[in-house]
Structure 1
Amino acid sequence: MAESDPPGMDLQRLRAHLDSALPGLVRADLSGELIAGGRSNLTYLVTDGHGRWVVRRPPLGHVLPTAHDMGREHRVISALAPTAVPVPRTVLSCPDPDVIGAPFYVMEFVEGTPFRRAGHLDALGAERTRAIALAMVDTLVALHAVDPAGAGLADFGRPDGFTARQLRRWGKQLDASRSRELPGIDELHRRLAARVPESPHAAIVHGDYRLDNLLVDGGDRVTAVLDWEMSTLGDPLTDLGLLLAYGSPAIPDGAGVSDAHLAAGYPATDEIAERYARGSGRDVAGLDWYAGFAFFKIAVILEGIHYRFAQGRTVGADFDRIGGVVPGLIDAGLARTR
């Protein structure tokens, strides 16, 4: 790797692979940068001075089993291209880790802003913030309306027993990232396991749906849904529960996690749930379990990031704050599952 290469990305080897697979795509030497804000898979913006592309690869260091599957991300984005769900156009998938040091895929650059901070939304005003948040909910409704078989994703997951299997999976992910005592997290897991709901009709589930995983244009329209690494077929209410959890006070200001929900005009969680229910036609009466599970899942995700930070294997800023958010998430999950 050259000194000018961003961490985890060999631009010369990337160009050589693109020249071989797609001759003529790249017209000059590549330059690139790590896009700030990623907390899991690494995302890079690369350019040859003429075109711009985005490259995704797994994180450096500790990687949890079953996570960070580049092939799955590439497949679901490609499948959703003809639907009403806005996604970038995929360019290439490379499962060979020898090219840049890990599997990766390339997609077209899409204009738009991932609103991560309340201050950025406050600069737009409460009315536009509300419109953006409601567009986010409507885009989730559109995703869950896609017929998996019609999109070529009938075998993208195993919907039967999805919620119970997800709970087991995230329990295992927690065990793989344990590096400190987390009071209450095992009790939260036990409560969730005792009341696993029967899943409704399966949908394509994003798995980490929130505002800063979307790109929004100047007209307050969603131009792309990003970060599909946790996508599968399963219970669509898990996406809604996660969206509600990300909009709760358990995600504090200045914690290294998105605080967009604190912006003036951002709808309350009850209004988000009601708009989703109205748009999707789904029954959302059992959302307490899904919200409790969401708090558990976010806690495990952030604990995994804290684990990598403690090992010195993270790239980017704000990682020192991530670990401090986890106890509040556990408490919020316990409150929703009393």
Structure 2
Amino acid sequence: MADASTEPQPSSSPPGLDPEHLRAHLDRERPGLVSGPLSASLIEGGRSNLTYRVTDGTEQWVVRRPPLGHVLATAHDMAREHRVITALGPTAVPVPGTVLLCEDPAVLGAPFYVMDLMPGVPYRDAAQLAALGPGRTRAVVTDLLDTLVALHGVEPGGVGLEDFGRPEGYLGRQLRRWEKQLAASRSRDLPGIDRLREELARRMPVSGPPAVVHGDYRLDNVLVDERDRITAVLDWEMSTLGDPLTDLGLLAMYCQRDPVPNTPVSSTGAAPGHPSTAELIERYAAGSGRDVSRVHWYTAFASFKLAVILEGIHYRFTLGHTLGAGFDRIGELVPTFITQGLTHLRED
């Protein structure tokens, strides 16, 4: 997801957001919030939902809405993001303050919500972390892990999220979901991927106590301030109630020390001072009290998910439906993550 710190592209009225319509709605719903004409800029870098910086010349906010052309079930998506961020506001999990949810597509053409602009920057790869130096890198990644422990320590019923998902059978549904995604984009032979899927199903662990799951937890989905502390966890569109170790497995995958070369996939583990995955897993276990003995299964599952996602991008690229720098190399990366997944299963 794009972050609120990225410099926006100047525009008084970017696609998908009419500042005058937004101003009129805010004046009706939050009188006195806005003190002048609004201008908006699209924050670049988002992968799905669109993110804008909005200002009246004095105050600034962030607006999130679905991609242009998306009209099906988007109210649900925006409402879910708004709901979980609002619910986590009083907890130890750093999230932006929420201002308003609008589920009426007549205002901006789709449902949207407004939240506070948070300070901080994202770190997307090992090179950016390396510029901080070993000590600061260690502090940032440690806080990332501790924030995940805090999230998984939130009692869903205590913040009104007891019905936010269906924890029973979560891992099985997740695996079936990604199997379907693979089938929908499969256009070539992918040695090992069927074995990886079959072994994941055969060795599926029994989930422990459920928690609020972020669904895409990694360093470039948080903002970090100049004190090397996380100010906001972003990109909650995949959040639900489920098995929290799926978040840990995903984070472990992105923190591996051997990054895949020439890839747009975020990887931070090679930065000097970055804690090892074993250290992060041990710290998570100590902080959360959860059994992490099957963490290699969860990391293998994360590798399978990423392989499927990348194969989908490759498939759309071959059809001419996806354009972008580096997309021509995406297909070459898929076998690497299949191999990584099988390696993690052998360690399980």
Q: TM-score, normalised by structure 1?
A: 0.89
For structure 2, the residue ranges without an aligned partner over 5 or more in a row are: 1-10
1:94-133 correspondence to structure 2 within 5 Å: 94-133=102-141
- Specify the SS of the correspondent of 2:284: helix
- Equivalent in the alignment of 2:171: 163
What SS is found at the alignment partner of 1:8?
A: coil
In the superposition, relative to structure 1, how do residues 67 and 318 fare at CA in structure 2: closer, same or farther (>3 Å)? Answer: farther
C-alpha distance in 1, partners of 2:327/2:15?
A: 16
Q: CA deviation at 1:45?
A: 1.6
Q: Which residue is 2:231 aligned to?
A: 223
The residue correspondences of 1:76-95 to structure 2 (distance < 5 A) are 76-95=84-103
Shift of 1:19: 2.7
SS in 2 for 1:261: coil
Higher mean C-alpha displacement, 315-324 vs 184-193? 315-324
Q: Distance in 1 between matches of 2:52 and 2:58?
A: 16
1:266 corresponds to: 274
| Residue 334 of structure 1, CA deviation | 2.0
Deviation at 1:259, TM superposition (A): 2.8
Which residue of 2 is the match for residue 35 of structure 1?
Answer: 43
**What's the % identity of the aligned pairs?**
65
Aligned to 1:290: 298
2:67 maps to 1:70:
no
Which residue is equivalent to 2:6? none
Partners of 2:15 and 2:262 in 1: CA distance: 25
One-letter amino acid of the counterpart of residue 17, structure 1: H
Segments of 5+ residues of structure 1 without an aligned counterpart are none
Contact in 2 for aligned 1:37/1:316 (Cα 8 Å): no
Alpha-carbon distance, 1:115 to partner: 0.9
User: 2:75·2:111 contact (CA, 8 Å) conserved in 1?
Assistant: no
- Cα distance change, pair 122–143 in 1 and its aligned pair in 2 (3 A): same
Report deviation, 1:16: 3.0
Equivalent pair of 1:251/1:329 in contact (CA under 8 Å): no
CA root-mean-square deviation: 2.8
* Residue among 180, 194, 211 paired with 2:219: 211
Matched ranges for 1:240-259 at <5 A:
240-248=248-256, 251-259=259-267
Task: Tell me the amino acid that sits aligned with residue 35 of structure 1.
Answer: I
Higher relative contact order, structure no. (Cα contacts within 8 Å, ≥ 6 residues apart): 1
Are the counterparts in 1 of residues 95 and 233 from structure 2 also a CA contact under 8 Å? yes
Report the AA paired with residue 53 of structure 1: W
Deviates more, 1:243-252 or 1:165-174: 243-252
CA contact 2:85–2:95 (8 Å) conserved in 1:
yes
Say which SS state the counterpart of residue 64 (structure 2) adopts: strand
Contact 2:214 2:238 in 1 (8 A): yes
Indicate the SS of the match to 2:87. Answer: helix
The one-letter amino acid paired with 1:231 is: S
The structure-2 alpha-carbon separation of the partners of 1:174 and 1:249, relative to structure 1 and needing over 3 Å to count, comes to farther
How much does 1:228 deviate?
A: 0.6
Residue 128 (structure 1) shift: 0.5
Counting matched residue pairs gives 337
1:45 aligns with 2:53: yes
Amino acid at match of 1:241: G
Distance 1:164-1:330 versus aligned 2 partners, 3 A rule:
same
AA paired with 2:151?
A: L
Partner SS for 2:20: helix
Offset of 1:60 from its aligned partner?
Answer: 4.2
Distance 1:197 1:99, change over 3 A: same
TM-score by length of 2: 0.87
CA deviations over 1:113-148 (Å, ceiling 9, x no partner): 111132221121011001110110011011111101
Deviates more, 1:78-87 or 1:263-272: 263-272
Distance across 2 between alignment mates of 1:96 and 1:337: 46
Change in Cα spacing, 1:170 to 1:334, as seen in structure 2 (3 Å) is same
Cα deviation for residue 269 of structure 1 reads 0.8
Give the letter for the 1:6 counterpart: P
Taking the aligned partners of 1:192 and 1:226, their CA distance within structure 2 comes to 29
| Deviation (angstroms), 1:268 | 1.2
Aligned partner of 1:16 in structure 2 is 24
Shifted more, 34-43 versus 130-139: the winner is 34-43
Aligned counterpart, 1:197: 205
User: Structure 1 255/88 Cα, relative in aligned 2: closer, same or farther at 3 Å?
Assistant: same
Contact 1:250 1:332 in 2 (8 A): no
